[in-house]
Amino acid sequence: MTEAARPGGTPGENRTGRPGSTAVVVGGGLAGVTTALALADAGVRVTLLEGRPRLGGLAFSFQRGTLTVDNGQHVYLRCCTAYRRFLDRIDAAALAPLQNRLDVPVLDAAGRPGRRLGRLRRDALPVPLHLGRSLATYPHLSLAERARVGRAALALKALDLDDPALDERDFAGWLAAHGQSARAVEALWDLVGVATLNAVARDASLGLAAMVFRTGLLSDPGAADIGWSHVPLGELHDRLARKALDSAGVRTELRTRVTSVRAAEGGGWRVEVPGESLDADAVVLAVPQREAYDLLPPGALDRPERLLEIGTAPILNVHVVYDRQVLSRPFFAALGSPVQWVFDRTEASGLSEGQYLALSQSAAHQEIDEPVAVLRERYLPELERLLPGARGARVKDFFVTRERTATFAPTPGVGRLRPGARTKAPGLYLAGAWTATGWPATMESAVRSGVSAADAALAALGRPRDHLFVHEEAA
């Protein structure tokens, strides 16, 4: 083991030449990259340590022959203000544009193929009228169901999101108590909720569900406009993030797994990686909850075992390359079928001929370990049912990506298990989509957690909060 190194360049100086504070950020997912950028922007000398050979954590790309594949389709909403600032900060906003106006085609496979198309879209009217026309004409619900959805939406708007009791209740129970039929849950609440929460309503905390629907659909007319990357995720979260980190003066070490974090003798923290130890004034653990549990020194949290009680939920992506175009829209959601959301990945993947579709299957507990052959038998006929053009098309490639621990499980009661950024150990902080951001496990939650951890560290270091990621309430 070498002598303990200080993050950055000359000991005791930051890139501005002033005597400076130092920080080590462990984990190069969106939470860690955000923390590192925010700290470096505020003049702290930062080292970012990531165990894998790339940045981006759970949102990454890989090569399959000439195809660049995302491990899972990722979307964000206009209300994801922190993630949007992150995209701005890494100079990537133009590569992941938002729809001008929310517009989700919803195909019902139970009707005649291709005929039962509904749309969830908004008008240029104030909340909640912006969704009124879309709801009034949504063909997948009866007139009475649509009226009851409207009433439930207003009841949801009236909930007090600061009431911790909401987190203890499940969303399905609340929906039933507010007159929502099984069909309304399937065709509307779960259609949106499963994709955003990674859980069906009966497995979801009312608090988190209410937060998602309130923020997305009932805060600002444009809040639910959907954005997604038009290039591989790795281009944003790895290449451009790395470029921004480099120009901010962050020392980034990939393939560098942290094995322990402990208090250093002269104060501050000592971080051990194979072959090196680093000393720093502040350490941020931006790793998943189980890894955080393993790395936390004794006494840092009152009940660290609670981190292990936070469950996880899987997401499966099914990838199909056809020899021709079978879908003319960028994406759609499906009903009456195991297919959930389908995205056209052709351009982003670099495919030059034919069409590449990715099926994003959330809360995929039943399917995550199914063999590829079984999934192929299940999904290809379903796509033919939904997309008439797929019937005569040749499947050139079929594969799946499985993320068994894609998100934390947003189960009732999870809120009290999620710790904030500060620990009881001065100078040691937590970040990650699973920490107490108030959001479900999303890119937005990851970025928000990174901002909170950086803010807590900067406050303790006595440094101004001089970075671009400022929460909207303070902006």
Footprint of ligand FAD (CB under 6 A) = 26-32, 49-52, 57-59, 71-72, 74-76, 257-258, 286-288, 291, 315, 317, 403, 406-407, 432-433, 441-446
Q: Which is nearer to ligand FAD, 14 or 71 (CB)?
A: 71
Rounded to whole angstroms, the Cα distance separating 65 from 360 reads 21
Q: Which is nearer to ligand FAD, 51 or 128 (CB)?
A: 51
272: Cβ contacts below 8 Å, ≥ 6 apart: 1, 258, 259, 260, 261, 262
Which segments within 267-368 are labelled E, that is strand? 269-273, 276-280, 282-285, 312-322, 331-335, 341-344, 355-362
Q: Which residues pair with 120 in a beta bridge?
A: 104
Q: Which residues pair with 215 in a beta bridge?
A: none
Q: Which is nearer to ligand FAD, 32 or 222 (CB)?
A: 32
Rounded to whole angstroms, the Cα distance separating 76 from 94 reads 14
Pairing state of beta strands 103-108 and 331-335? parallel
Instruction: Give the shortest CB-51-to-ligand FAD separation in angstroms.
Output: 4
Instruction: Give the shortest CB-258-to-ligand FAD separation in angstroms.
Output: 4
Instruction: Give the shortest CB-426-to-ligand FAD separation in angstroms.
Output: 22
113: Cβ contacts below 8 Å, ≥ 6 apart: 385, 386, 387, 388
The two three-digit tokens of residue 195, written as one number: 């994709």
Q: Which is nearer to ligand FAD, 71 or 349 (CB)?
A: 71
Cβ–Cβ < 8 Å for 77, 219: no
Q: 73: buried, middle or exposed (CB in 10 Å: 19+, 13-18, 0-12)?
A: buried
| Full DSSP string of 16-31 | TSSB--EEEEE--SHH
Instruction: Give the shortest CB-470-to-ligand FAD separation in angstroms.
Output: 19
Q: Which residue has the tokens 């499985």?
A: 402
Q: Around 74, how many Cα atoms within 13 Å sit in the side-chain half-sphere?
A: 29
Q: Which residue has the tokens 């040691």?
A: 428
Instruction: Give the shortest CB-469-to-ligand FAD separation in angstroms.
Output: 14
Q: At CA 405, angle to CA 243 and CA 258, rounded to 5?
A: 55
Q: Which is nearer to ligand FAD, 61 or 317 (CB)?
A: 317
Pairing state of beta strands 103-108 and 117-121? antiparallel
* Helix/strand/coil for 347: helix
Q: Which residue has the tokens 């501050």?
A: 268
Cβ–Cβ < 8 Å for 224, 80: no
Dihedral sign from CA coordinates of 392, 397, 398, 403: negative
Closest C-alpha to 80, from 458, 433, 457: 433
Instruction: Give the shortest CB-139-to-ligand FAD separation in angstroms.
Output: 26
Q: How many of the other CB atoms lie within 10 Å of CB of 101? A: 16
